[in-house]
Structure 1
């Protein structure tokens, strides 16, 4: 006997978000609005200072400025619509808007992942090969690294977006998530999703684990070099230079990899929403504080900029 499958021609999805907390919609709107403003101000300040202050015209701060720009784009792809959903209680999103949001989310996540690897490599060259640093990390190379971080994932991501949105969806059009993401979308796909899951894991390996392994290798060599330094002051200074970046890497990968390395059967909407809020919203808010409060050069530059603004 032929089995009828309820295949629905989806025209839009319903982003459930935090609809399980109807009494807290206004409170959540205020909290996420404050967080979004904090992200814009914190990362925007880093971009301004790294471009204005001559003392910070180095590859390390060039990468940091670009990283902050990615963070702003990353959250701006998610938070405005989430705030609109919380405010208006209209949670529908068209198929095209969902595909566009997913594409930019993945693109920016890949760019952030590779930028973290580039920043680790910059620290490796600065600490392990200081005499060659100006040659290796020249301005043209830095620009190529940043551009490569942005465009390296585009061909594969376009193919993945086409693959998932070209298959039929079954039954409900409700996405138990705060934005259009791969795990909740795969839950609605009809039939066997083995190919989609393989594609997802390949992406995680290429654009998640590969940059992470590059970061890990860089820091193994950095640690080996630091431990050989004769001066305790030199070792503490080198550790201080890298500590901020290590904290950001742990925050980004710790929550992101847990959220993505789940199969359809083990996918939990509530758990995934918690991890997604952490690595898409909380981490971009914390990052400017980590980089600025633990960096003496940045603090001094910030003081100089503020004093100039007050005088003017």
Structure 2
């Protein structure tokens, strides 16, 4: 055997596994923080206005489509981020034989860890060290004396312990690299940017669709206040009606003339009845003066104009 008998492990397998679980816990916390920020962001941009888009006016279809597209893009980006973060919690099963597909970019670091563990016992690879541990178990099983069996079992436990520590350290490296990749690689930043721009685009499009134009009363009030302060600027003149248009009385229409004629006819009939009552001495002439005054006022040239 080699000088691996003097090797003293600095970390137990349980300690390394706790470090791995801590990284996964931080990724979970990071995901929850992103979800909280997304909730605040959607509330800040008025995401609750999505239901208001159903009542858009004709000609605003492109803005509605833009709002929906931005919202879908933000949702897809957030979904991709969530799926990538959940991938860190997937179990990592490693053996002494390297699985290049599972290791990915962590292969170099894992090779170094396996090589260090194997060299402690005079081997070049962890797979060879694992085979050595299996041969020690067979020797211990065929031992003829208790002393030989105890020494062989102790050696086997030492070798197997080093293998287990190497595998635990390799799992830690794989999880750490996966966590770094899903949080800060180019695809992650692209997803973050998609979510942010999607929410901003939805906010702008939704505000345009759901915003209401200024009412006529508010426009007249604003223009009146602006005129009282001084001459209107050129940017406001086009929106404000002219003073003559605001103060000019409405011109009589055909409907108003018909109503006036009907009223005159009714008052004339009422005046005739009143005069007959005066002739029968049922009323006095003063009682009919008010009706006669109304008829004269309606028949005057100024009233007709």
TM-score interval (norm. to shorter): under 0.3
- Determine which structure has more spread, i.e. the larger CA radius of gyration: 2
TM-score of the aligned structures, taking structure 2 as reference length: 0.26
TM-score of the aligned structures, taking structure 1 as reference length: 0.26
